[in-house]
Structure 1
Amino acid sequence: MDLDTVRTFVAVADAGQFQEAAAELAVTQQAVSKRIAALERDLGVRLFTRTPRGAELTIDGQAFLPHARELLRAADRAVASVRTGRRPLRVDMLASRSAASGLMRGFHRAHPEIDLDVVMLFDIEKAVAAIRSGAIDASFRAVAMPGRPLPEEIESVRVLDEPLQLLIGPGHALAGARSVTVAQLAEHRIWMPGLVPGTEWTAYYDDLVAEFGLTIEATGPNFGSDALLDTIADTPALATFMGGQTRLVWPAGHGLRRIPVTDPVPVYPHSLLWHRDNPHPALATLRAHLAATAAGHDAAGTWAPDWAISRGTPPPRARAGTAVSS
């Protein structure tokens, strides 16, 4: 059904005259007459009766009027839902306990007037596809995996380098350490059942293993963080890596410890990705907020893979043996 004819019908019904409706709609009276005639043909009924006083609704016209008003309201709501700045800013992150979640909570506290819609996609390929299609406005990811550069229209900026920490139980040989070096970890088993081939986080840990000769085991099903914490607490021979800003809660009886890793500090690089033609005004606000509040990256004494860079940013990095204060 043509919404212009429906809008014209409502205008005539409200004005009671074709001429006044034409003036309100900024069209000719002839155009109003043609639209009403077209609508009557589509519906198969007469909507108005012409009288000396103007135009009066027929019984069918009275029956159609409330539905016509609802059609126009629905159309206005549909347009408003996609009008720039009117819909929520849709942002993807890997997990609700991740460092990216903390960044978005900080953004929400600073800008509570901006509606947000947070989603969690599995890997960078799904995230990039969603950005390109417009399904999401931005995504927090490590950028970019070896051999898979970002599409030209996808922009990125490094927003946070998150230091890795070693998570161990009370019976682990390193349980009493204030910090551990990367070299010390080469003698210990690190268990990470959430590593999935083809994902950016697995590419990160593959590079970490290759660089420092670590042993990371990804055997067994991934039952989530709670099951991982239970196993680490009960198994003295196992440790795992956790991001320093990953939010975790465990029972007091577990006796788990998070220990800083040094010499160098392995950092997980978080970048914000978005489409360069995305017009959502809240996206610019998010980028400005992250630029002003997020920590820097590529600090001295840290390590990250060469591929984890923002577009156009040189990749300075520390190598094994670089001194770092603890």
Structure 2
Amino acid sequence: MDLDAVRTFVAVADTGQFQEAAAALSLTQQAVSKRIATLEKDLAVRLFTRTARGARLTIDGQAFLPHARELLRVAERADASVRPGRRALRIDVVNRRIATAVLLQDFYRTRPDLELDVVTLDTDVEGAIAAVEAGTIDATFHGVPPHRQLPEAIAAAPAVEEPHELLVGPRHPLAGARSVTPERLAGHRIWMPGLAARGEVADYYAEFAAVFGVTIDMLGPVFGNEALLDEIADSADLATLVGANSRYMWPDSYDLRRIPIRDPSPIYPLSMIRRVDNPHPALAELREFVAARRSGTARTAVWLPSWTHRAN
């Protein structure tokens, strides 16, 4: 099967637009259409239906997509198996706004000559570990309880301990506070629409809410971070939690306040997950950078979820 055609199919499926896929692949739109037509002819099925909004996968296209992704992953692993020192270091930062992305950018500043591929996998810790084990990515950052049994080929080391801050608008009752304790959040509506109902992140926030009597509201549709910030800026009772090193931008007119949470500072610990036999030389450099950054972080009174205290 023509891998270029498969790669083009995945690009169109991800973007929903032949034109955007063409730009992403540095091809003409005509070339993209020709590749898709050839692939459809080879498979004897239609993969896309063209609509006014772009390209929509047919039922056959939906069935083919996971296999197409696997074909590309296999090809990437085959290439990486013989050229580990020359390919890009591929790191999943989970979200480009959070501390892991900031950490990786700081690492890149020390190695601007490094070929680096920054990705954000839409998956939980189980899926991320599977991606590392399969060689799709070189490393990822997730919460990994010490007692969790990892695959033999996988190692996880503490990487980031980022304290939380309270984000509120100028009319919120806590807007003038220089810092707050977790207990002071009781009775205030902490709005986090789209927060996963299960998984390691959900477990963390459920325990945090139970320990400190905090109400976390996960209801409502998710319109994106910009819409969330707009709602909080205009509200006298809404607030949300953000990481101290997370990057958010908003208009000056919003007058949002980031208030440190202290005594103790709630921290969601993230580990760097990698294959123990991954020979990429830049991965070893990243491990050393992460370890040095973590050892240089001063620690005050913190609150960590209970699973971080359990023994293996």
The residue type paired with residue 216 of structure 2 is I
1:18-71 per-position Cα deviation (integer Å, ceiling 9, x unaligned) = xxxxxxxxxxxxxxxxxxxxxxxxxxxxxxxxxxxxxxxxxxxxxxxxxxxxxx
How many aligned positions are there? 234
1:119-162 per-position Cα deviation (integer Å, ceiling 9, x unaligned) = 1112212211101111111001111398x543343211112211
State the alpha-carbon separation in 1 of the partners of residues 104 and 300 from structure 2: 26
Q: Which residue of 2 aligns with 1:205?
A: 205
Structure having the higher Rg: 1
Matched, 1:89 2:96: no
| Mapped contact 2:189–2:239 kept (Cα < 8 A) | yes
State the alpha-carbon separation in 2 of the partners of residues 135 and 79 from structure 1: 11
The residue type paired with residue 99 of structure 1 is A
Give the 3 Å change call, closer, same or farther, for CA 207–91 of structure 1 in structure 2.
same
Give the 3 Å change call, closer, same or farther, for CA 295–195 of structure 1 in structure 2.
farther
State the alpha-carbon separation in 2 of the partners of residues 305 and 121 from structure 1: 24
Shift of 1:310: 11
State the alpha-carbon separation in 2 of the partners of residues 79 and 204 from structure 1: 38
State the alpha-carbon separation in 2 of the partners of residues 288 and 311 from structure 1: 25
1:200-223 per-position Cα deviation (integer Å, ceiling 9, x unaligned) = 222211110121111000001122
Q: Which residue of 2 aligns with 1:135?
A: 136
Shift of 1:296: 5.6
Q: Which residue of 1 aligns with 2:291?
A: 291
Shift of 1:297: 7.0
1:85-140 per-position Cα deviation (integer Å, ceiling 9, x unaligned) = 11111100111111001110011110122211111112212211101111111001
Give the 3 Å change call, closer, same or farther, for CA 234–287 of structure 1 in structure 2.
same
Moved more, 265-274 or 81-90: 81-90
State the alpha-carbon separation in 1 of the partners of residues 144 and 177 from structure 2: 33
| Mapped contact 1:193–1:217 kept (Cα < 8 A) | yes
| Mapped contact 2:143–2:200 kept (Cα < 8 A) | yes
Q: Which residue of 1 aligns with 2:273?
A: 273
Give the 3 Å change call, closer, same or farther, for CA 143–296 of structure 1 in structure 2.
farther
State the alpha-carbon separation in 2 of the partners of residues 257 and 292 from structure 1: 31
User: Which residues of 2 match residues 242-261 of structure 1 at below 5 A?
Assistant: 242-261=242-261
Secondary structure at the aligned position of 2:289 is classed as: helix
State the alpha-carbon separation in 2 of the partners of residues 220 and 98 from structure 1: 22
Shift of 1:182: 0.9
Q: Which residue of 2 aligns with 1:101?
A: 101
User: Which residues of 2 match residues 161-200 of structure 1 at below 5 A?
Assistant: 161-200=161-200
Secondary structure at the aligned position of 1:140 is classed as: strand
The residue type paired with residue 265 of structure 1 is S
Q: Which residue of 1 aligns with 2:72?
A: none
State the alpha-carbon separation in 1 of the partners of residues 87 and 234 from structure 2: 47
The residue type paired with residue 114 of structure 2 is I
Shift of 1:293: 2.4
Q: Which residue of 2 aligns with 1:218?
A: 218
| Mapped contact 1:131–1:275 kept (Cα < 8 A) | yes
Q: Normalized against structure 2, the TM-score is what?
A: 0.70
Give the 3 Å change call, closer, same or farther, for CA 104–241 of structure 1 in structure 2.
same
Q: Which residue of 1 aligns with 2:126?
A: 125
Give the 3 Å change call, closer, same or farther, for CA 292–236 of structure 1 in structure 2.
same
State the alpha-carbon separation in 2 of the partners of residues 305 and 296 from structure 1: 22
Q: Normalized against structure 1, the TM-score is what?
A: 0.67
Give the 3 Å change call, closer, same or farther, for CA 159–228 of structure 1 in structure 2.
same
State the alpha-carbon separation in 2 of the partners of residues 162 and 277 from structure 1: 28
Runs of 5+ consecutive residues of structure 2 not aligned to the other structure: 1-77
